[in-house]
Amino acid sequence: GVEAFWRNLEGGVESIATFSAEELLEAGLPRDVVLDPRYVRRWGALEDVDRFDPTFFGIAPREALQMDPQQRLFLEVCCEALDDAGMPRASLEGLRAGVFAASYHSDYAQAIYGCRSAIGAHTVTGAAHSVLANRLSYLLDLRGPSVSIDTACSSSLVALHLACQSLRQGE
pLDDT for res 149: 95
pLDDT for res 71: 92
pTM above 0.85, yes or no: no
Average pLDDT along the chain, 171 residues, taken 10 residues at a time: 86 86 84 83 76 92 88 93 94 96 80 75 80 95 95 95 96 87
DSSP bridge partners of 149: 102
Angle (nearest 5°) at CA 123 between 120 and 129: 180
pLDDT for res 115: 76
pLDDT for res 40: 77
Closest alpha carbon to 140 in 77, 91, 73: 91
DSSP 67-92: S-HHHHHHHHHHHHHHHHTT--GGGG
Angle (nearest 5°) at CA 38 between 33 and 44: 80
**Number of other CB atoms surrounding residue 43 within 10 Å:** 12
DSSP bridge partners of 99: 146
Closest alpha carbon to 73 in 44, 114, 40, 112: 44
pLDDT for res 78: 95
